[in-house]
Amino acid sequence: MTSDFIGNTPIRRCDYLSSKYNTNIFIKEEFHNPGMSSKDRPALFMIEEAIRKGKIEPGGTFVEASSGNTGYGLAMIAREMGYASKIFVSKSCSSEKVEILKSVGAAVEICENSNGLHDFYSTQFRAQSYAANNSNCYFTNQYYNSSNIKAHYKTTGPEIWQQMKGEVTHFIAGIGTGGTISGVGRFLKEKNKNINIWGLEPTGSILSHFLTYRTLPTEYEKFEPIEGIGRTFIPGSLDINCVDKIFQIGIADSKSAAQEYKNATGFLIGFSSAALVAMLEAHINSLAFKQTDIIVVLFPDHGSRYMSKLYSKNEIVNEKSKVI
């Protein structure tokens, strides 16, 4: 079963980033999961819980709103268990992700945005509506499903603690649904309350504002879409009490970071991983890393999912023209 190979992903020291910032940076490589992303973990937990609690009958359809990775994990696991899947993605989803969703039998519907249940044109509203109006369908709803946090609390967090032998000063991850940083952050804080749990989001996202003020902003900045992270609403699967700081980064810097990392290491990183690398560069002074710090960063997926957005010749030319 595919589920037998989910989790237990490696951590490796990144010599490039460690040397660049004179500290110790380790990467939790989630692209080693069967679906090449960290989202396989909550996908499995949400499916197993739904089946266990009788929320879906055999042969039914799992429905999700996804930027692609959760949808792929759900579709892959569901098909193996004898279920169908229907995934609602926003128009900003990469063409590679749409194609791999279809390759595992998912029905894909492209929506205007992913702005939450209050927006009639969003992936979340359309997914919920579809599940409510069709028989034997279950909307896993990763943005409000406690199994999203539980998956990372039960698996990713303990793996990091064990692999690092408890030697961790910082954990840094992008925030989308909030499940990863909440689950890992909760587990690590229980082990050592002094571990810094830091998140990142794109410019225009409201999560850092919510962390600081515990309210929604009265005015919204233009949202820069970086697949998988950032929100214009507060997901129920985000436990803000597990997060110490949230940093913002722009889309242009993230794309440049992907190219720079590839040139330096030969490795293709995903969009939110590139955003994390860009955040380190942009905020390095305020991060104030010490030589003795041990920082674990999470790379949730692989750059092969974003060839058209990060690594195509056209994209490189476009980014250079923007700089000029």
Residues acting as catalytic residues: 39
Judged by DSSP in three states, 96 sits in helix
Radius of gyration of the chain (CA): 19
The burial class, CB within 10 Å (0-12 / 13-18 / 19+), for 213 is exposed
CB atoms within 10 A of CB 281: 16
Query: Who contacts 148 (Cβ-Cβ below 8 Å, separation ≥6)?
Result: 42, 45, 46, 142, 177, 178, 179, 183, 237
Q: How far apart are the first and last CA of the chain?
A: 51
* DSSP 8-class letter at 37: B
Judged by DSSP in three states, 139 sits in strand
Q: Tokens 């369908």 label which residue?
A: 137
